[in-house]
Chain A
Amino acid sequence: MDLKNLISEATIILSLEATSKEECIRSLTSTLVDNGVVSNAEVYVESVLKREETGSTGIGFSVAIPHGKSPGVTEPGLAFARLQNALDWESLDGNPVSLVFLIAVPEDKAGSEHLQILASISRKLIHEEFRNKLLYAQSSQDILDAISN
């Protein structure tokens, strides 16, 4: 799964001001609406929030990877935000989250597509150097470069 085909500068928010998980997810979703990945924001956001209810997607390392498989999605896509103020995400390690990847996958896609995207992101996050690049990038382009590399 090549992440650079899923994300673009337009779906990266370098410094997002959000006071809740839902607000963060909604802001990221609007970037996916703008680039045509999400056709129905309400239906998609609902699927993402429903997934969060079954167990937090905060995986530790200050990172959360919310995701939704939904008929409100036209094609697979990925958005990223760095939060101005870290948010409580009920993370597995108990720490607040400041880096958020939002995955969108159409309902009719083969079952494991979001898992493949999740795996690709995880493979990168294993490296501390990559996590630091996300934390200290000066521009959306820097983040895009780190993810595309």
Chain B
Amino acid sequence: MVSKEVTIGNATGLHARPAQKFVQLAGKFQSQIQIYKNNESKTDAKSILGLMSLALEKGTTITIEATGDDEQEAVDQLIELINNFGDE
């Protein structure tokens, strides 16, 4: 299991188009991937509604946790994607 924290930096937060990109990327990995928000709520990183249900706005810190053969790659690439959203 690999897990890492990241803070949402883009203005619109993680919903609509950025969420779609995130879910698409997550879906490419075999690992099971969970997103935790404030250690209280969690969701499947491969579900767009799950992601939207967390209300991930700018400044929210989440933990991405992956378990499986490609867990390290999954966490690294998803974090990179979030960091690259810029002003979207």
Q: When A55-B17, A59-B16, A92-B20 are in contact, do A119 and B48 touch as well, CB less than 8 Å? A: no
Q: When A55-B16, A59-B16, A118-B15 are in contact, do A111 and B57 touch as well, CB less than 8 Å? A: yes
Contact across chains for B52 and A119 when beta carbons are under 8 A apart: yes
For the complex, would chain B's binding face be called helix, strand, loop or mixed by DSSP majority? helix
Contact across chains for B53 and A115 when beta carbons are under 8 A apart: no
Contact across chains for A119 and B55 when beta carbons are under 8 A apart: yes
- Kindly state the interface size class of chain B when it binds its partner: 10 to 19
Residues of chain A within 8 A of B52, CB atoms compared: 59, 118-119, 122
Bound-complex Cα distance A56 to B47 (A): 18
Contact across chains for B49 and A57 when beta carbons are under 8 A apart: no
Please report B residues at the A interface, Cβ cutoff 8 Å.
13, 15-17, 20, 47-50, 52-55, 57
Given known contacts A112-B13, A122-B53, what 17 new A-B pairs fall within 8 Å (CB)? Answer: A55-B16, A59-B16, A59-B49, A60-B48, A92-B17, A92-B48, A111-B57, A112-B57, A115-B13, A115-B15, A118-B52, A118-B55, A119-B53, A119-B54, A122-B50, A123-B53, A126-B50
